[in-house]
Chains A and B, each alone.
Chain A
Amino acid sequence: MVGVIFKREFSSFFATPVAYVFIFMFLMLSGVFTFFFGNFYERGQADLQPFFNFLPWLYLFLVPAIAMKSWAEERKSGSIELLMTLPVTTGQAVMGKFLASWLVLGLALLLTFPLWITVNYLGQPDNGTILAAYLGGWLLAGAFLAVGHCMSALSKNQIIAFILTVVVCFAFVLSGTSIVLNALKGFVPTLVLDMVASFSFMLHFEAISKGVLSLTDIIYFILSMFAWLAACLLIVEYKKAD
């Protein structure tokens, strides 16, 4: 049943211009960030760090845009009443929707392959590291997306869902940066500080993108996806008829 929901959601991205616009913007912006701001050529290093350094910031605004309509639209148009009276569990619906948008994000990420070809043409990069970083990027996208689906379930209004998602994701990105950690230092015990840092999407992603594919980081992303999707499920159950 997850498969049926998944198929409907996935094709709905391509029935409207949403997926095309998203992929186009993603590819264009990732190019701009990598080559102009990331100094891809000037660095003289055969790797994709300039691209992966900007990826979280790119996702911060683009993933909420993909996620915002997932549940908000269902509730606004009333089609949620149809969906929830079909022999489908809420869990299956949540999963199907999530996987469909996650695959769109994966597709967009795959389509950055010209960057990979370029770097391989110019030098001898560590392709293992690049592969790990791509996997990390997809996991990061999934974590952002799960937050987005949860926020979309919270509000009928897509704009509100978008803003909430950006804010929450921003908090999760920032929580590992020195700005936040320095500000908190002295106020809170080290244990809390470590906890705040460990919640950061950024630290886990940076580890993977440097080629350190540790199980902890992978599990961290998978757990955060499950946690946000579980919250999403509860919110859908609770608010579906509002």
Chain B
Amino acid sequence: MIQIKSLIKRFGDFVAVDGLQLEVKPGDIVGFLGPNGAGKSTTMKMITGFLPPSSGEILIDGESLAKAPINIKKKIGYLPEGAPAYADMTVLQFLHFIAQVRGFKGKEKNQRIKDVVEKVELQQVLNRPIENLSKGFKRRVGLAQAIIHDPLILILDEPTDGLDPNQKHQVRKLIQNLSKDKIVIISTHILEEVTAVCNRAVIIANGKKVFDGTPKELQQSSQFHNAVTIEFEGDKPDISQLKLAPGVTEIIERDSHTVSVIGHESYESLFPQIMDLVHLQGWHIKAMYNEVGQLDDVFRSLTKEEAA
């Protein structure tokens, strides 16, 4: 378990992390979100023991990071932003080095390396110097070194940044396949990633926590959650009838031929009755669908409020 208590980090006058409180339990896969410069990376650097906090405390399994840094670092696997590594080493040499630092020897070391190479599919680049690898492979090497000791806590700073869609999918699958009693913290800009792999979303802005809940709750806080969106063919007709339908509380015009119909919370779905209405009125529509919620909007409103 990670407990973060009133964590503050200042760089000169600038407050990067401002009184952050957070508790992460085994089994949590936390999507750590926030605009650039919100303090995500700084927080991760403090949890991994790279940066000392200006004030506040980080406890891992009840043990203070400031007091037992080496012991705690053994439990953590960390992929720093940009996946830095020793560029002049080959992938295999690098993994051997990491395995040795992690305290593995002989057969176990070789087995660990073999497993991790298979997991992130590095077979074809094993003997190539890291500096010659593509961005995707570099990121995978970074992931490999982070999971080689099967850590209880895995901290990944933008693990899918710069990867192509296939590689992104692969990394997400890898994270999902980690055993269920682990703590995973992933920072990302990609909101879909949070719904795809995380069971908890934490949003910070200007160093403060502005949201902490499940990805579903995040979607639900969107004004478009459960809305029915209609795309008309050509310009939209007179839609005053829509407002009169039962359960409808608001109509939002998205653009010249798209509207979203927002229903009252007590209505599970407006879809069937709006469908009927569309038929009745004889409107020509291109598409009509239920929205789960616009994460972008939620993200923007949450992080802007804080900035304002």
Contact = CB atoms under 8 A, between A and B. Distances in A.
A85 B80 contact: yes
Interface residues of A, number: 23
B287 interface: no
A86 B80 contact: no
B101 interface: yes
B50 A241 contact: yes
B88 A77 contact: no
A12 B78 contact: no
B73 A82 contact: no
Given A85-B50, A87-B74, A88-B101, A15 B89 contact: yes
Interface stretch (B25-33, B92-100, B218-226): B92-100
A240 interface: yes
Contacts, number: 66
A79 B101 contact: no
B277 interface: no
Contacts of A81: 45, 50, 80, 84
Q: Mostly helix, strand, loop or mixed at chain A's interface?
A: helix
Interface in B136-154: 145
A82 B80 contact: yes
A4 interface: yes
Contacts of A80: 84
Interface string B9-53: 000000000000000000000000000000000000100111100
B80 A78 contact: yes
B70 A77 contact: no
A3 to B, nearest CB: 9
A79 B73 contact: no
Contacts of A8: 86, 89, 97
Nearest to A12: B88
A165 B252 CA distance: 67
B101 A78 contact: no
B182 interface: no
Contacts of A11: 93
Contact of A241 (B45, B71, B89, B101): B45
A86 B98 contact: yes
B101 A240 contact: no
A16 interface: yes
A121 B78 CA distance: 59
A86 B50 contact: no
Contacts of A241: 45, 50-51
Interface of B: 45, 48-51, 70-71, 73-74, 76, 78, 80-82, 84-89, 93, 97-98, 100-103, 129, 145
